[in-house]
Chains A and B, each alone.
With several copies, the nearest count.
Chain A
Amino acid sequence: MRKIEAIIKPFKLEEVKEALSSIGVQGLTVTEVKGFGRQKGHKELYRGAEYVVEFLPKVKLEIVVSDDQQTQVVDAIVKAASTGRIGDGKVFVSAIEDAVRIRTGESGDVAIS
């Protein structure tokens, strides 16, 4: 199994989820995160105290899939999340050794399908 982690712009979440649903992804987990990268942050100003916000709101998706779904899922995310502007985010792929569905105790690929 593979874990696909995608860091995307928050307003793209809905579209990415649709894209993933449409290729049969059954589950995913979403976390609100702050990203630091090439995308310039904005300035905030409080009574003359300038404050450059370098950590920008992003959303992290984690999707564990069977090995054969990997390419399809990554492509779907990249396609749906892209705006062509800096800061669109990253997708990271890593290995998962096992998965268990808590409700049933099933493990392996069946736990995530």
Chain B
Amino acid sequence: MITTLHLGRKHAWLMAAMTIFIIAAMFSIPAWAQDEEPTLDTGDTAWMLTATALVLFMTIPGLSLFYGGLVNRKNVLSVLMQCFTITALMTLLWTIYGYSLAFDTTGMEKVDGYAFAERGIHGYVGGLKYLFLRGVDKDALTGTIPESVFVTFQMTFAIITPALIVGAFAERMKFSAVLIFSTLWFTFVYAPICHMVWSGDGALFWDLGILDFAGGTVVHINAGAAALVACLMVGKRRGYPERPMPPHNLTMTVTGAGMLWVGWFGFNAGSAVAADQNAGMAMLVTQIATAAATLAWTAAEWIKHGKPSVLGAVTGAVAGLVAITPASGTVGPMGAIVIGVAAGFICFFAATTLKRALGYDDALDAFGVHGVGGFVGAMLTGVFAATNLGGFEIEAADIGKQVWLQFVGCAVTFVYCGVVSFIILKLIDLTIGLRVSEQDEIEGLDVTQHEEAGYI
């Protein structure tokens, strides 16, 4: 509790500042963008339909199994339930107002630099044009694909992001609190960050030229920051870290990891929103970085502990997938190897040494892998996007500037997300409470929250 209050104070100023600029921005003048007339491409559509299925597959059953295997057997269903219900809930929220808040580009205008006031509110969050998907006609297109597909594809990102955070507070948070947290977090954190990064000209990150091809900031740093705050706020699991808490079923975790890997092709190569060279190269570099991170983590364990473990290997893989995410549209194979290796080693350090040193209980390493891996990836994107390093986006001379921009992207996301997550969690704690009773925690969440048992 002391820690969390401390956290609150520390960032209170920044939060206040943010709030002010958001309100201030409301008074700026919106403007309209013009579109060319695109036509539907069946190949692009085919790939995006598939990519959408793949990203959904990442959450159910991919991430669910990955996380589910890591907890105690008495809590396995609670994790599966949280992932499954979040999937359903985010789908409805996205349908009702999320897509609009994220992708309504009404009133956006390109603005140089950090000029908050000029940009207007809609540089930070979308309008309400698409409430209830009004206006998403069957024949509407986004680029060369039906807008319905784009809506669903983006929806799957809005699903997995809050689901990732589950890893931080697993095994002790009330189910009702999870749902309320996810709803508020989606509304006040995910939707605006998504808008700032991906909605196009006039959006903060977009205008600044921050590179985030497939969601390094929107998904991973965002989820990672919320995860860190959440595990601090919810507190440690009973007995942590004295009592060992080994994964109850690693075969489940490895299965989930395989599914995440496969599904991530939809995530990264799907972010090309086309079946083209960008998608192809995104798939290739995703594969390479993941492999490199897997081997890096394995090697780190082998060196440090004398034996490599499959939990290490799969965690490394996820770290690699996370790190290549922002980079996957702008780096080449060699950049991918470096990003993968870096992510493997650094996340290994974060999830083992750092976590133990600082003592927070990020139960399934949502911060250690997604937060840290996302940061590593975002920064190195700024390096390996350079054409002389095999990338496709920037000049060698601009590496320094781009790395700075990447850092800004990470920092703004981290701070904004951290502050708002803190407020949300605090509010929940003060009202219905975040945490189950000690007795319920001992008995397990499956029986006490859901009246069922994973295995008979």
Q: Could you tell me which A residues sit within 8 Å of B by CB distance?
A: 11, 14, 42-49, 51, 53
B427-456 residues at the A interface, CB under 8 angstroms: 442-443, 447-448, 451-453
| Min CB gap A43→B, angstroms | 6
B351: interface (CB < 8 Å): yes
Chain B residues with CB under 8 A of A14: 243
Report if A51-B244 is in contact (Cβ < 8 Å); known contacts: A11-B442, A42-B443, A44-B453: yes
**A41 to B10 CA separation, bound complex (whole angstroms):** 46
B247: interface (CB < 8 Å): yes
B341-394 residues at the A interface, CB under 8 angstroms: 351-353, 355-356, 365
Residue of B nearest to A43 (CB): B451
Contact partner of B246 (CB less than 8 A), chosen from A11, A42, A44, A48, is: A44
Chain A residues with CB under 8 A of B315: 47
Report if A51-B443 is in contact (Cβ < 8 Å); known contacts: A45-B452, A46-B309: no
A49 in contact with B452 (CB, 8 Å):
no
Report if A47-B453 is in contact (Cβ < 8 Å); known contacts: A14-B243, A42-B447: no
Report if A45-B309 is in contact (Cβ < 8 Å); known contacts: A14-B243, A51-B244: yes
**A37 to B305 CA separation, bound complex (whole angstroms):** 26
B215: interface (CB < 8 Å): no
| Min CB gap B416→A, angstroms | 29
Residue of B nearest to A41 (CB): B447
Q: List 12 A-B contacts (CB under 8 A).
A: A11-B442, A42-B447, A42-B451, A43-B451, A46-B452, A47-B311, A47-B352, A47-B365, A48-B351, A48-B356, A49-B244, A51-B246
Residue of A nearest to B304 (CB): A48
Report if A48-B353 is in contact (Cβ < 8 Å); known contacts: A42-B443, A42-B447: yes
Chain B residues with CB under 8 A of A11: 442
The 10 A-B pairs of least Cβ separation, nearest first, read: A48-B352, A51-B244, A45-B451, A47-B351, A42-B447, A44-B451, A44-B452, A46-B246, A51-B246, A11-B442
**A45 to B453 CA separation, bound complex (whole angstroms):** 9
Total B residues in contact with A, Cβ cutoff 8 Å: 26
B247 in contact with A46 (CB, 8 Å):
yes
Chain B residues with CB under 8 A of A44: 246, 447, 451-453
Report if A47-B312 is in contact (Cβ < 8 Å); known contacts: A11-B442, A14-B243, A42-B443: yes
Of the candidates A11, A43, A46, A53, the one having the most CB atoms from chain B within 10 angstroms of its own CB is A46
Contact partner of B305 (CB less than 8 A), chosen from A42, A45, A51, A53, is: A45
| Min CB gap B322→A, angstroms | 15
**A11 to B243 CA separation, bound complex (whole angstroms):** 10
Residue of A nearest to B369 (CB): A47
Q: Could you tell me which B residues sit within 8 Å of A by CB distance?
A: 241, 243-247, 301, 305, 307, 309, 311-312, 315, 351-353, 355-356, 365, 442-443, 447-448, 451-453
Residue of B nearest to A15 (CB): B243
**A11 to B242 CA separation, bound complex (whole angstroms):** 13
**A53 to B443 CA separation, bound complex (whole angstroms):** 13
**A45 to B355 CA separation, bound complex (whole angstroms):** 15
| Min CB gap A45→B, angstroms | 5
Chain A residues with CB under 8 A of B309: 45-46
Residue of B nearest to A11 (CB): B442
Chain A residues with CB under 8 A of B356: 48-49
**A11 to B74 CA separation, bound complex (whole angstroms):** 12
Of the candidates A46, A47, A48, A49, the one having the most CB atoms from chain B within 10 angstroms of its own CB is A47
| Min CB gap A58→B, angstroms | 13
Chain A residues with CB under 8 A of B241: 49
**A53 to B244 CA separation, bound complex (whole angstroms):** 10
Chain A residues with CB under 8 A of B246: 44, 46, 49, 51
Chain B residues with CB under 8 A of A46: 246-247, 309, 311, 452
Q: A44-B453, A45-B307, A46-B311 are known; give 14 further A-B pairs, CB within 8 A.
A: A11-B442, A42-B443, A42-B447, A42-B451, A44-B246, A45-B305, A45-B309, A45-B451, A46-B452, A47-B315, A48-B352, A48-B355, A49-B244, A49-B356
Chain B residues with CB under 8 A of A43: 451
| Min CB gap A14→B, angstroms | 7
Chain B residues with CB under 8 A of A45: 301, 305, 307, 309, 451-452
| Min CB gap B82→A, angstroms | 19
Chain A residues with CB under 8 A of B452: 44-46
**A44 to B356 CA separation, bound complex (whole angstroms):** 17
**A44 to B447 CA separation, bound complex (whole angstroms):** 7
| Min CB gap A87→B, angstroms | 11
**A49 to B356 CA separation, bound complex (whole angstroms):** 9
| Min CB gap A52→B, angstroms | 8
**A46 to B314 CA separation, bound complex (whole angstroms):** 12
Chain A residues with CB under 8 A of B447: 42, 44
Residue of A nearest to B364 (CB): A47
**A53 to B451 CA separation, bound complex (whole angstroms):** 10
Chain B residues with CB under 8 A of A47: 311-312, 315, 351-352, 365
| Min CB gap B240→A, angstroms | 10
**A14 to B312 CA separation, bound complex (whole angstroms):** 27
